Chain A
């Protein structure tokens, strides 16, 4: 498997679709430029209709971009048909060939490449062991569980040793527990093989668990690209903050600035927070507060009133009103802590360094 790893580059890619009902044209993907490093695991994450699957299918060659050029390594691949591209896709529905058994499914791509018979059998056996399906060669695909079918699909894609592995929501047909197991598997195998992988999902925890880099897409454009930590702690905008994890937004107007810090008026209370990096000075700011970053106390923070207090086992779930703003928070390990009841007035306390200011 000594192959030069290749990255993928999208250069000002757009794809235009026509609404079948109104006949109106719209951008499914708009002027998107991306560089995916060789050997990295990158996730395209976003709500449905954000253009993530279209982007993936353009890389695979099923859709043709209306603007821009796609590069695999240094080679432009716009004009190549899917069968000529050095990519392999794992489909949401697995897309196994139902009239073939496991061995023939995995061997399909190798047979098309006219690989000698002995080598096929050797490579298929090796790859099936990698995905932990050794000994299942003779099974028909419909005799396999969902998780096993997904492993076959993965093996089939891996065995042809593509430069890039593409995943189109491969785990969404599995139940919750299996999803978690399979995603660790996928990550392990990708690391072992060292292949470039592009993974489409709408499940943020999947994206977090798998990726070196997450690309968040919204309405056909890239909202943010970064490591999971960057995206969680430093979301580029409210959409990203809201889409990844839970977020509370506290609106504040500027009342003072000093060093790297701003003092904002939040619902009538002064709040001192770190200033955003390379910001344009303005009047209004938004403070992003994660639910686990705050706690309730009798005093010492923003005054608030409890409107929901609910025991969830590992944490106590609170909704509090800070003025007219609803803030949700999670008090973890609540066993020996004071529990505030609905209607109580108290104080919302958090470390200014743990918030992100937009």
Chain B
């Protein structure tokens, strides 16, 4: 059998569409240049770095006790955070889906799921120190404990768990909703107690999903840079070690090799999560629930679970509230009253706050439409079109999801500071705002692409085919049919990209030059110096900006988004 003619014709048809071909070429160039190349250069650097090809760089870094300790530290933290987050997430998800709650508790749950979205990922470290540190409000002034040490292992674990468990909660909630209630009713009907139903039906069905949540959090924890930086103290993780290796020891090849090690760990986890667990989750929980679930009304179950979760939620909310309040204390640790606005004033008068916000805002504002559009185009190509390089585009844009920001940052330093392959080509972009924008785009691309892909999968393929058949070319089809149909996904992608960009730190902190002041970098600097009030003031304004963006998006979607009736169709 020869499929040659069909393939040749498909190719000819594709070539008859110059906009499509150009788009694909541009995309491939972008992905190769800004995702694959920086990672490749890390490999090159770490194998040929110290003169000649070989494992000498790796031998060198593995003989550093700080590095080997960082590996065990990172894995230990990641493991514990993964387990704690998925368990707490499961508890919250279970209570929301299975138990009849009152309005107040329901509201708390909503806030908890929303907070990590709008806040920079490391503000909890600030409030942790302010509440429970040596001069913490709770430890020192409530319980008169003067030597409580929040820095280190437990500090990181608690802060990361509180930061990441809402993600697990949202993931698991979706899965629990997909369990057909009649399965559990059947088990109840055969005489199983509620506990037995949970352990013998619900839990086994959820296991792959739990594993998935665990690994996602594990990867997040390993890749997290700012929390260990602020609250880790002398407890170094891989991300912070790499950062110090490059900014403190100026050992660029060593940092590159360390980045390769970190990348290998996350890639392995990601591969398991993506190709094994995700498939398994989909296989066990496919069917839509046939009808609404009977919520648990039993007071002996309902009251303790609701109280437990509400207290947890309140605690998390209090941690977040501590940030704006902390920014109003006259002298944190000594004098709490009267509340003052002087730190906010100083942000702008003394510490170039306006420039920081302007820089962060403008760069993120430029990056977000690029990200949103790129991710929609990638999703369209991946879901709706057939062409040879499709697998490459899909794989590389997903790969970016597994790359920790620190690794990407080191890759960009090595890849672009001396130009492409240290030849000086493209050297011009290093140190400019452009490279920061590119980093923002690359960092948010996978999330956008994933949401775009799932939105597009729900649209019947024949809708686009019909437009194509009516005489529209690919560009017209995309602009008049695809994009309007995934408008919601596009808009939320826009805001997600904006929020992720303006709150990003891990890759950016390695690449930013003094000509740009970025809010997150400022917060990190002040926190490290111990100027928590200033850090809090910056963080508060940042949260207000991101929350405003999210509100604006919701308003926008409500008004201009795809009407509800279309979605129900």
Contact = CB atoms under 8 A, between A and B. Distances in A.
Interface in A74-103: 78-84, 87-89, 91-93, 95-99
Contacts of A92: 462
A82 B566 CA distance: 27
Contact of A95 (B7, B12, B460, B471): B460
A61 interface: yes
Given A87-B469, A112-B472, A113-B471, A140 B1 contact: no
Contact of A91 (B6, B12, B466): B466
Interface stretch (A41-49, A64-72, A196-204, A265-273): A64-72
Given A81-B17, A99-B485, A142-B566, A160 B463 contact: no
Contacts of A15: 6
A108 B460 contact: no
Contacts of B481: 97
B16 A160 contact: no
A16 B1 CA distance: 8
Interface of A: 15-16, 25, 27, 60-67, 78-84, 87-89, 91-93, 95-99, 108-109, 112-113, 140, 142-143, 153, 156, 160
A99 B469 contact: no
Given A66-B2, A95-B463, 15 more contacts: A16-B2, A66-B6, A78-B9, A79-B12, A82-B465, A82-B468, A88-B469, A95-B460, A98-B485, A98-B569, A99-B562, A112-B470, A112-B471, A142-B566, A142-B568
10 contacts: A62-B465, A66-B2, A81-B13, A83-B469, A83-B472, A84-B471, A95-B463, A97-B463, A156-B466, A160-B470
A97 B468 CA distance: 12
Given A81-B17, A112-B470, A142-B569, A93 B460 contact: yes
A108 B476 CA distance: 11
Indicate the size class of the contact surface on chain B: 35 or more
Interface in B504-561: none
B473 interface: yes
A169 to B, nearest CB: 11
B423 interface: no
A79 B15 CA distance: 11
B478 to A, nearest CB: 13
A236 B5 CA distance: 32
Interface in B246-267: none
Interface of B: 1-7, 9-10, 12-13, 16-17, 460, 462-463, 465-473, 476, 480-481, 484-485, 562, 565-566, 568-569
Contacts of B569: 98, 142
Nearest to B483: A99
6 interchain residue pairs of minimum CB distance: A64-B9, A109-B470, A95-B466, A66-B6, A95-B462, A91-B462
Contacts, number: 109
A108 B467 CA distance: 8
B6 A16 contact: yes
A61 B465 CA distance: 10
A93 B569 CA distance: 12
A64 B15 CA distance: 14
A160 B465 CA distance: 16
Contact of B5 (A65, A81, A99): A65
Contacts of B2: 16, 66-67
A62 B9 CA distance: 11
Contacts of A80: 13
A159 to B, nearest CB: 9
B13 A91 contact: no
Contacts of A109: 470-471
A21 to B, nearest CB: 14
Contact of B6 (A65, A81, A89): A65
A245 to B, nearest CB: 31
Given A16-B1, A65-B5, A89 B466 contact: yes
A121 to B, nearest CB: 17
Main secondary structure of the interface of B (DSSP, over half): helix
A98 B481 CA distance: 9
Given A78-B9, A79-B12, A98-B566, A66 B467 contact: no
A143 B4 CA distance: 46
Contacts of A65: 5-6, 9
A88 B5 contact: no
A80 to B, nearest CB: 8
A91 B16 CA distance: 25
A98 B463 contact: yes
A221 B294 CA distance: 53
B251 to A, nearest CB: 48
B23 to A, nearest CB: 16
B1 A27 contact: yes
A144 to B, nearest CB: 11
Contact of A66 (B4, B17, B465, B471): B4
Given A25-B3, A64-B10, A97 B467 contact: yes
Contacts of B7: 64
B316 to A, nearest CB: 39
B424 to A, nearest CB: 43
A153 B565 CA distance: 19
A291 B569 CA distance: 43
A95 B1 contact: no
Contacts of B465: 62, 82, 89, 91, 95
Contacts of A99: 484-485, 562, 566
Contacts of A62: 465, 468-469
B107 to A, nearest CB: 33
B13 A66 contact: no
A320 B562 CA distance: 61
A64 B466 contact: no
A25 B2 CA distance: 10
A82 B10 CA distance: 11
Contacts of A66: 1-6
Contacts of B6: 15-16, 63-66
A82 B1 contact: no
A15 B1 CA distance: 10
Contacts of A97: 463, 466-467, 480-481
B13 A156 contact: no
A95 B569 CA distance: 12
Contacts of A108: 467, 470, 472, 480
A302 to B, nearest CB: 47
A60 B3 contact: no
